[in-house]
Amino acid sequence: MLHSDNNALILEKPTSWKMDSSVQPLVATTLHPSNQRPTGKYNSSGMLPNMGMLFDHLLSMIRSAHENRQYQPSPFPALWERTCTRLEKHKNATTYEKWKLTSILNNADELRKIDDEIADVWAYVQRTRNKKKHGAHRKVAAGRLKELRLKRQSFKPKAEVEIDGALEISIAFWIEARNAYNVKDEERALHSLLQCSFYLGTTHSPVTESEAQRGRRLATTRDKPRLAILQAAIEVIETFKVTRIIRHQETLCGEISLLIANDPKYSKAVIDFAKWNNKEPSTQEQVSERMQETLFQCAKGRRSGTYAEFKERLNQLFKVASKFGLSNRTKKVKTPTGW
């Protein structure tokens, strides 16, 4: 806080906020008038729900979260039975909680490792195109790449298991609370229900409009390097000359990437892309390989704007390239002009 002393501003040292429940500032509250019958939800009225209603209310909220916040949810009894089986193994809800949170983090780490390995193996396959020199090794690498891509497609990333993961922990604490209540230990039951409510609450947290706007801005900012490369690719396609070696769309993306990487006009876009890609490769060849993978993936996507324009132009060019390559297998054809 600032205050004045002889026309001089002095900054007072702020007092620390004591995290002690007995000294926190309080205000007076009153009971909320209500004629409704207790439903299991606390509503600030003079009538409190009994423990049985509280258990029923939380149970219905857990089920609602599973069925309404999930995309194509599994049957709720299956989620409950799965949690019971795992809770029986882990003995108590706290151990279950630690195991589940650790497994979610490990899931994310494993996903990143798979993506990194795919990028490395793919780059090796692209560097070893000489069949006589690298034939056997390239074949092994190609098989590994196919295996990794299949594994990646079947892998469930963290975002897909987050809701049910939190609900599993919530169910575990609900069960522990109910066990305590059944043996007349209401104090333990209430403590366990607090934990149950916490994890249940994480599945009901809506994103505010300001958060959504901030997320959209960040997404646009983070996507700028890729958009710059796509725009460069669109420009390169305008003057691209088809050759007989182009028989696959991935090869075409590779040729476009090489042109971008070797053109000083796009040096800033290439440098930004290398940093954005988090790999920061040291050679133009490595940069172009990663650009090739990016262009190839974008060509298969369904996004709008620059993505859609690039996809359309690339498909048009590849259509011409395919016809040119097909004709050359049977007779000589002049290189198409205008590409």
DSSP secondary structure code for residue 72 in this structure: S
Statement: residue 339 has pLDDT above 80: no
pLDDT tens, position by position, 14-40: 455 566 778 888 899 998 887 777 777
Statement: residue 230 has pLDDT above 50: yes
Please answer whether residues 140 and 153 qualify as being in contact, where contact means their C-beta atoms are separated by less than 8 angstroms: no
Residue 206: the pLDDT is: 60
Residue 325: the pLDDT is: 54
Please answer whether residues 227 and 308 qualify as being in contact, where contact means their C-beta atoms are separated by less than 8 angstroms: no
Residue 174: the pLDDT is: 97
Question: How far is the C-alpha of 170 from the C-alpha of 201, rounded, in Å?
Answer: 9
Residue 269: the pLDDT is: 87
Residue 188: the pLDDT is: 96
Please answer whether residues 30 and 16 qualify as being in contact, where contact means their C-beta atoms are separated by less than 8 angstroms: no
Q: What is the maximal distance between C-alpha atoms in the chain? A: 96
Phi/psi for 26 (5° steps) reads: -130, 160
**Contact residues for 292 (Cβ-Cβ < 8 A; gap 6+):** 126, 250, 253, 254, 256, 257
pLDDT tens, position by position, 60-111: 999 988 887 665 678 899 999 999 999 999 999 999 999 988 776 666 667 7
Considering the entire predicted model, what is its pTM? 0.47
